[in-house]
Amino acid sequence: MSEKKTTSNSGRRKQERGLAPNGNSQVATGGELHQIAGGEHAAITTNQGVALSDNQNSLRANPRGPTLLEDFILREKITHFDHERIPERIVHARATGAHGFFELTASLKQYTTARILTEVGEKTPVFTRISTVAGGAGSVDTPRDIRGFAVKFYTKEGNWDLVGNNIPVFFIQDAIKFPDLIHAVKMEPDRGFPQSATAHDTFWDFISLTPESMHTVMWIMSDRTIPRSLRMIEGFGVHSFRLINDAGESTFVKFHWRPKLGLQSTIWDEAVKISGADQDFHRRDMFEAIAAGVFPEWEFAVQLFTQAEADRFPFDHLDATKLIPEELVPLKVIGRMVLDRWPNNFFAETEQVAYCPSHVVPGIDFSNDPLLQGRLLSYHDTQLSRLGSPNFHQIPINAPKCPFSNQQRDGHMQMEQPAGRVAYEPNSLSENSPRETASGFHSAAVTETGEKSRIRAASFADHYSQARQFYLSQTAYEQAHIASALVFELSKVEHLHVREAMVGHLRHIEEDLANRVAAGLGFDKMPDAPVPAAPVQELEPSPALQVIGKMKDTVMGRVIGILIADGSDGTVIEKIKKAAIDAGASVKIVAPKVGGAKLADGSMLAADGQLAGTPSVLFDAVAVILSDGGAKALSMESAAIDFVRDAFGHLKAIAVDKGGRAFLKIANVGQDAGVVDANENDVFIAAAKTRQWDREKSIRTLA
Binding residue (CB under 6 A) for ligand HDE from 11, 21, 100, 148: 148
Annotated active-site residue 165? The verdict is yes
Q: Cα separation of 653 and 692, whole Å?
A: 7
Annotated active-site residue 57? The verdict is no
371 binds ligand HDE (CB under 6 A): yes
Half-sphere exposure of 522 (CA within 13 A, CB side): 3
392 binds ligand HDE (CB under 6 A): no
Minimal CB distance to ligand HDE: which residue?
148
The secondary element (H helix, E strand) that includes residue 299 is strand 297-305
Contact set for ligand HDE, span 269-328 (CB under 6 A): 320
Stretch that binds ligand HDE, among 85-93, 639-647, 664-672, 691-699 (CB under 6 A): 85-93
Stretch that binds ligand HDE, among 183-191, 204-212, 367-375, 684-692 (CB under 6 A): 367-375
Q: What is the DSSP string of 178-237?
A: HHHHHHHHSPBTTTTB-SS-S-SHHHHHHHHT-GGGHHHHHHHTSGGGSBS-GGG--EE-
Q: Cα separation of 12 and 691, whole Å?
A: 64
Give the number of residues in contact with ligand HDE, rule: CB under 6 A: 24
Binding residue (CB under 6 A) for ligand HDE from 258, 283, 336, 375: 375
Give the number of other CB atoms < 10 A from CB of residue 22: 16
Largest CA distance in the chain: 93
Give the number of other CB atoms < 10 A from CB of residue 293: 7
170 binds ligand HDE (CB under 6 A): yes
DSSP three-state, residue 422: coil
Query: Going along 485-564, which residue ranges are E strands?
Result: 559-563
Give the number of other CB atoms < 10 A from CB of residue 595: 12
CB of residue 90 vs ligand HDE: minimum separation in angstroms? 5
Binding residue (CB under 6 A) for ligand HDE from 14, 94, 99, 129: 129
Q: How many residues does the chain have?
A: 703
378 binds ligand HDE (CB under 6 A): yes
CB of residue 402 vs ligand HDE: minimum separation in angstroms? 22
Binding residue (CB under 6 A) for ligand HDE from 104, 108, 175, 678: 175
Q: Which of 24, 99, 159, 165 is catalytic?
A: 165
94 binds ligand HDE (CB under 6 A): no
Give the number of other CB atoms < 10 A from CB of residue 421: 8
CB of residue 329 vs ligand HDE: minimum separation in angstroms? 18
CB of residue 150 vs ligand HDE: minimum separation in angstroms? 4
The secondary element (H helix, E strand) that includes residue 399 is none
Q: Kindly calculate the radius of gyration of the chain based on its CA atoms and give it in whole angstroms.
A: 30
Phi, psi values for residue 512, rounded to 5°? -65, -40
| 113 vs 159, beta carbon nearer ligand HDE | 159
Binding residue (CB under 6 A) for ligand HDE from 91, 318, 551, 572: 91
Stretch that binds ligand HDE, among 5-13, 159-167, 603-611, 684-692 (CB under 6 A): 159-167
Stretch that binds ligand HDE, among 206-214, 369-377, 531-539, 659-667 (CB under 6 A): 369-377
67 with 74: CB under 8 angstroms?
yes
204 binds ligand HDE (CB under 6 A): no
What string marks each residue from 212 to 251 as x (binds ligand HDE by CB under 6 A) or -?
Answer: --------------------------x-------------
Facing residues of 157 across strands? none
Helices (H), 63-200: 72-82, 178-185
Residues 224-236 as b/e (b if ≥16 CB within 10 A, e otherwise) read: bbbbbbbbbbbbb
Stretch that binds ligand HDE, among 88-96, 222-230, 252-260, 663-671 (CB under 6 A): 88-96
| 131 vs 251, beta carbon nearer ligand HDE | 131
Stretch that binds ligand HDE, among 23-31, 76-84, 374-382, 437-445 (CB under 6 A): 374-382
Amino acid (one-letter) located at 640:
A
Residues 33-65 as b/e (b if ≥16 CB within 10 A, e otherwise) read: ebeeeeeeeebeeeeeeebbbbeebeeeeeeee
89 binds ligand HDE (CB under 6 A): yes
Binding residue (CB under 6 A) for ligand HDE from 90, 187, 338, 384: 90
374 binds ligand HDE (CB under 6 A): yes
Q: Which of 34, 92, 99, 650 is catalytic?
A: 92
| 374 vs 418, beta carbon nearer ligand HDE | 374
CB of residue 233 vs ligand HDE: minimum separation in angstroms? 12
| 392 vs 663, beta carbon nearer ligand HDE | 392
- Read off the DSSP letter of residue 522: T
CA distances from residue 11 to 14, 22, 228, 446, 633 in whole angstroms, order as listed: 5, 7, 53, 77, 51
CB of residue 264 vs ligand HDE: minimum separation in angstroms? 21
Calculated CA dihedral for residues 391, 148, 195, 290, nearest 10 degrees: -90
Q: Which spans of this chain sit near ligand HDE (rule: CB under 6 A)?
A: 89-92, 95, 129, 131, 148, 150, 163-165, 170, 175, 178, 238, 320, 355, 371, 374-375, 378-379, 382
**Which residues does the annotation mark as catalytic?**
92, 165
